């Protein structure tokens, strides 16, 4: 009897206990995941839509509803790109992605009608080093592209003046180089995809 | 008597037993996001939530956990709470979630949580453990928020995303870069050890 | 090269410019406490290289072939840490059984590693950055080597520091963090090393 009891205590009980804890934990997390799944998907959609609006330089109220309303009103989906009617004329918005230092950087680039002047730029996703490369997501950086046209030259942070110069990010040489390549490619891609050149 | 014990449990991690200054624990996951006050706030709230509730849960279970699988159970419970934080952030604060990236998940390996469970929760009653976990989280939180305050202010001239220093201010870029975190934390530890801790020793 | 991430760039970047310890502060706890001595640091460093280089691709397989097909991505935190813990435990037992000297020099550090945030960190980064199998392996290996270099460099400096006069409040962790800060600055200087065409 005693041997049986220790066997139970030593082998069976820990297993049963672990199993119970695992099942319980997974039930809780799964339940929560399933209940919030729709919301997470909606967020993702709203995020992409906002990037499109930002790139096109279109005005919107920064709430989920505001984004949806502005998007549905102004943006048309074309084959591989988007067009939008802004207050200063037609905008072409193109999703572009390319390598960053650590992972893929995905951006939305908005063009004015000449397809070389940027109307805006928004980051969809990036995985660069926090505090260094990840600063490409900061508004001061993305705003620089507005009204400028490619090919861009990246210069030291805080010294950009000419209409094709962009402030690079100090300490993130690599990310800046990748980003320069990406934005310059965006302009050629735009002409190819939209005009078929 | 009981009340004073609760008070003591609560106050100790805030002062002379602070997890960051005294034990230098758990800075890994959060230090990386201290270049912005907002991100730091979310992270420390996540840590506080996890420390408090996992201490409480494991204290409830403390008489039933077989000692051989203790670590596994602890990890499981901690990971569950972290996943909850992750899911909630993803659903309700998607932008914050994107910015924090993998750092939310790294709360699991934050040594404070496991440390408090091993050192306190397994020997004490649930409510007291909850208080201890919460206080350790708070002690951790204010230190990291202070670091984030200095780093964001000096690094970008902003606080909580708002510009507070005028255009005369030249940003100390080094502050928001990784070395800045090391320096600010070291200086904080220095100041605290030279002032508060010295008094206590005397 | 266009459109893809260069695995070897990631390998070198994870050793130098993006050193997991010096730019992401991961693995600080064991770094601060162990870097007192060169010998222990070397042992722990080698163990970290080994575990990172093996668990990262292992977790990649688990993620791609178990979690994604069943839609369980949200459980990755639990699963990864269990994989790491189980792997470390297994390795420890194997080494203990078959090689006594190896166990003495490496095995005793293995239990310390499960709680090293850098290990889990590398796996989580690998998922978020959507790496391929090869890239995951090189990233894990590179991060391990980077961590190793950082800890032995620190241990070397700290041994020299034993006879130096340090303000009492800065002794121990304080001065270590300051040195780590300088090391982080020095490592950032490597960023011009690899050129991107």
User: Which residues contact residue C175 at a Cβ distance below 8 angstroms, ignoring those fewer than 6 apart?
Assistant: B186, C161, C166
Best mutation target among A7, A21, A128 (most B Cβ atoms within 10 Å) is A21
Residue C4: what pLDDT? 61
CA nearest to B89 within chain A: A40
Cα separation, C74 vs C51, in Å, equals: 24
Residue C153: what pLDDT? 94
CA nearest to A132 within chain B: B177
Nearest to C77 among B82, B178, B182 (CB): B82
Tell me how many domains chain B contains.
1
Cα separation, B82 vs A29, in Å, equals: 10
Nearest to C177 among B101, B108, B186 (CB): B186
Structure tokens at B59: 């204290």
Asked if residue A60 lies in contact with residue A53, where contact means CB atoms within 8 angstroms, the answer is yes
Instruction: Give the mean pLDDT of chain C.
Output: 85
pLDDT tens string A20-35: 999 999 999 999 999 9
Domain map of chain C by residue range?
7-189
Domain map of chain A by residue range?
51-195
Confidence of residue A2 (pLDDT cuts 50, 70, 90): low
User: Which residues contact residue B85 at a Cβ distance below 8 angstroms, ignoring those fewer than 6 apart?
Assistant: B46, B49, B50, B104, B107
Kindly report which listed range (B126-140, C61-75, C109-123) carries the lowest average pLDDT score: C109-123
- Put simply, the answer to whether C188 touches A127 (Cβ < 8 Å) is no
Which residues of A are less than 8 Å from C6 in CB distance?
Answer: 99
- Put simply, the answer to whether A131 touches B64 (Cβ < 8 Å) is no
Highest mean pLDDT: which range of B87-101, B124-138, C30-44, C156-170: B124-138
Instruction: Note down the domain range covering B52.
Output: 2-201
Structure tokens at A128: 């660069």
Residue C193: what pLDDT? 65
Place of tokens 């839609």: C71
Residue C129, classed as helix, strand or coil, is: coil
Which residues of chain B carry a pLDDT beneath 70?
1-2, 23, 197-202
- Contact with chain B for residue A33, Cβ under 8 A: yes
Cα separation, B91 vs A40, in Å, equals: 5
- Put simply, the answer to whether A127 touches B66 (Cβ < 8 Å) is no
Q: Any long-range contacts for A146-151 (C-beta under 8 Å, 24+ apart)?
A: A146/A57, A146/A118, A146/A119, A146/A120, A146/A121, A147/A117, A147/A118, A147/A119, A148/A117, A148/A118, A149/A114, A149/A116, A149/A117, A149/A118, A149/A187, A150/A116, A150/A118, A150/A183, A150/A184, A150/A186, A150/A187, A151/A184, A151/A187
CA nearest to B172 within chain A: A170
Cα separation, A183 vs A121, in Å, equals: 9
B22 CA to chain A: closest CA distance, Å? 27
CA nearest to A13 within chain B: B66
- Contact with chain C for residue B164, Cβ under 8 A: no
Nearest to B189 among C74, C173, C180 (CB): C173
- Put simply, the answer to whether C13 touches A127 (Cβ < 8 Å) is no
Q: Which residues pair with A153 in a beta bridge?
A: A165
Kindly report which listed range (A86-90, B21-25, B112-116, C63-67) carries the lowest average pLDDT score: B21-25
Residue C6 reports pLDDT greater than 60: yes
> Which position has the higher pLDDT, A10 or A72?
A72
Kindly report which listed range (A85-89, A100-104, B137-141) carries the lowest average pLDDT score: A85-89
Chains that touch A (3 or more CB pairs under 8 A): B, C
Residue C1 reports pLDDT greater than 60: no
* Count of other CB atoms within 10 angstroms of residue B193: 21
- Looking from the CA of A144 toward its CB, the CA atoms found within 13 Å total 26
Residue C196 reports pLDDT greater than 60: no
Residue C2 reports pLDDT greater than 60: no
DSSP character at residue A115: S
Tell me the CA distances in angstroms from A187 to A79, A116, A147, A195, one per residue in order.
17, 6, 13, 12
Nearest Cα neighbor of C146 from C15, C48, C10 is: C15
Sheet holding A104-111, edge to edge: A75-77, A82-86, A89-99, A104-111, A118-125
Confidence of residue A148 (pLDDT cuts 50, 70, 90): confident
- Put simply, the answer to whether B35 touches A131 (Cβ < 8 Å) is yes
Measure the CA angle with vertex C126, ends C122 and C132; round to 5°: 135
pLDDT tens string C83-103: 998 888 888 888 888 888 888
Nearest Cα neighbor of A153 from A169, A136, A167, A139 is: A167
pLDDT tens string B132-149: 999 999 988 998 999 999
Structure tokens at C151: 């800890």
Residues in chain C: 197
Task: Give the pairing type, strands A165-167 and A153-155.
Answer: parallel
């Amino acid at each position: 009897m005693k041997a049986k009891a220790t066997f139970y205590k030593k082998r069976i009980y820990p297993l049963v206990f672990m199993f119970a804890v695992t099942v319980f934990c997974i039930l809780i997390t799964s339940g929560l995941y399933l209940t919030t799944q729709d919301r997470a998907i909606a967020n993702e959609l709203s995020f992409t839509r906002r990037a499109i609006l930002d790139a096109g330089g279109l005005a919107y109220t920064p709430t989920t509803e505001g984004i949806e309303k502005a998007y549905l009103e102004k943006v048309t989906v074309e084959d591989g790109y988007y067009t939008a009617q802004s207050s200063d004329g037609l905008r072409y918005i193109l999703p572009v992605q390319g390598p960053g230092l650590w992972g893929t950087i995905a951006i939305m680039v908005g063009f004015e009608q000449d397809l070389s002047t940027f109307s805006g730029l928004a980051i969809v996703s990036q995985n660069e080093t926090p505090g260094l490369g990840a600063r490409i997501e900061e508004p001061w950086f993305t705003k620089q592209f507005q009204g400028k046209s490619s090919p861009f030259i990246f210069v030291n942070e805080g010294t950009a003046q000419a209409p094709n110069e962009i402030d690079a990010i100090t300490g993130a040489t690599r990310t800046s180089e990748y980003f320069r390549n990406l934005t310059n490619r965006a302009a050629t891609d735009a002409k190819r995809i939209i005009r078929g050149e | 008597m009981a009340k004073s014990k609760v008070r003591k449990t609560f106050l100790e991690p805030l002062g002379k037993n602070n997890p960051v200054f005294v034990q230098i624990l758990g800075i890994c996951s959060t230090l990386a996001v201290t270049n912005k006050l907002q991100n730091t706030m979310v992270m420390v709230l996540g840590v506080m939530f996890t420390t408090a509730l996992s201490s409480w849960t494991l204290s409830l279970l403390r008489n039933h956990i077989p000692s051989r699988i203790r670590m596994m159970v602890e990890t499981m419970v901690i990971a569950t709470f972290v996943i909850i934080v992750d899911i909630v952030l993803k659903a309700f604060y998607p932008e914050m979630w994107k910015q924090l990236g993998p750092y939310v998940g790294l709360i699991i390996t934050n040594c404070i949580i496991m440390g408090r469970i091993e050192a306190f929760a397994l020997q004490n009653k649930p409510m007291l453990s909850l208080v201890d976990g919460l206080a350790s989280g708070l002690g951790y939180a204010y230190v990291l928020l202070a670091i984030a305050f200095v780093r964001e202010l000096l690094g970008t001239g902003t606080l909580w995303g708002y510009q507070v220093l005028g255009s005369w201010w030249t940003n100390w870029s080094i502050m928001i870069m990784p070395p800045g975190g090391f320096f600010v934390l070291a200086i904080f530890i220095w100041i605290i050890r030279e002032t508060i801790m010295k008094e206590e020793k005397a | 090269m266009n459109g893809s991430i260069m695995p070897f760039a990631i390998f070198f970047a994870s050793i130098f410019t993006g050193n997991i310890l010096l730019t992401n502060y991961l693995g600080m706890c064991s770094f601060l406490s162990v870097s007192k001595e060169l010998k222990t640091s070397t042992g722990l460093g080698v163990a970290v290289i080994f575990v990172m280089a093996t668990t990262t691709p292992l977790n990649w397989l688990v993620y791609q072939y178990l979690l994604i097909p069943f839609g369980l991505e949200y459980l990755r935190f639990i699963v990864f840490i269990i994989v790491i813990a189980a792997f470390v435990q297994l390795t420890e037992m194997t080494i203990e059984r078959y090689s006594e000297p190896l166990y003495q020099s490496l095995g005793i550090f293995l239990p310390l590693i499960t709680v090293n945030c850098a290990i889990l960190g590398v796996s989580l980064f690998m998922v978020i950055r959507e790496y391929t199998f090869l890239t995951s392996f090189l990233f894990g290996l590179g991060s391990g080597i980077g961590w190793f270099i950082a800890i032995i460099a620190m241990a070397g400096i700290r041994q020299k520091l034993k006879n130096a006069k340090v303000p009492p409040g800065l002794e121990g962790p304080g001065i270590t963090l300051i040195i780590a800060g300088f090391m982080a600055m020095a490592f950032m200087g490597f960023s011009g090393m690899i050129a991107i065409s």
